[in-house]
Chains A and B, each alone.
Chain A
């Protein structure tokens, strides 16, 4: 069975703090994709990153960085120097490669509140 667990339901930080959102996944597939999406109060899911299971390199994009560790089945997301505009619900998701590709399995999300 495939499953994505985001253990942190809600996180609250003060602006400029760094924050890490955890994501742990379960899959029997040897090849798969992992994603992070942001859902601001407006409701629209915004694509942040896709990582395939062959690529364990960490990724940095501005204030965002992602740490993929296959050994622990984790794909954590860090926001450096958080800003109020980062307040949103963040979802981690998984999809197999081939076959049921496209069927995104989402975690329950982590609500991040960044206070000024």
Chain B
């Protein structure tokens, strides 16, 4: 069974530029999550989707971050404009539903200069 796929794996941008990350969850998984992991810390949830609806986006900085999950499968996370403090690894995870364990992708390491 294929795992959670993410791209790109690495991205370097200048502050004030925009960037987008893509995630393809495990087939059949209804719930999709985006996490931000700053160096030396545990991941922090940004947004959670159930199919194509948002369940929890309380920790998403909505002035600059946006995410969508069209058709309830793939998802994209966008940052516009980026700030230096956005430098982190962005992890995507999926689960069968909210009652099951989450499986994580390899992450996208973002560096903002």
A35, A43, A93, A104: the one contacting B107 at CB < 8 Å is A43
Instruction: Determine whether A68 belongs to the interface, using a CB cutoff of 8 Å to chain B.
Output: no
Instruction: Determine whether A11 belongs to the interface, using a CB cutoff of 8 Å to chain B.
Output: no
A50, A101, A108: the one contacting B42 at CB < 8 Å is A108
Task: List residues of A (28-64) whose CB comes within 8 Å of B's CBs.
Answer: 35, 37, 42-47, 50
What's the interface size class on B, roughly?
A: 20 to 34
Instruction: Determine whether B91 belongs to the interface, using a CB cutoff of 8 Å to chain A.
Output: yes
B31, B40, B104: the one contacting A45 at CB < 8 Å is B104
Shortest CB distance A26–B (Å): 15
Task: List residues of A (88-116) whose CB comes within 8 Å of B's CBs.
Answer: 91, 93, 100-104, 106-109
Report yes or no: B102 in contact with A104, Cβ–Cβ below 8 A: yes
State the main secondary structure of chain A at its contact with B.
loop
- Number of chain A residues close to chain B: CB under 8 A: 21
Instruction: Determine whether B55 belongs to the interface, using a CB cutoff of 8 Å to chain A.
Output: yes
The contact sample of 14 A-B pairs, CB cut-off 8 A, is: A43-B89, A43-B107, A43-B109, A44-B106, A47-B101, A47-B102, A91-B43, A100-B56, A101-B99, A102-B31, A102-B45, A104-B33, A106-B42, A108-B41
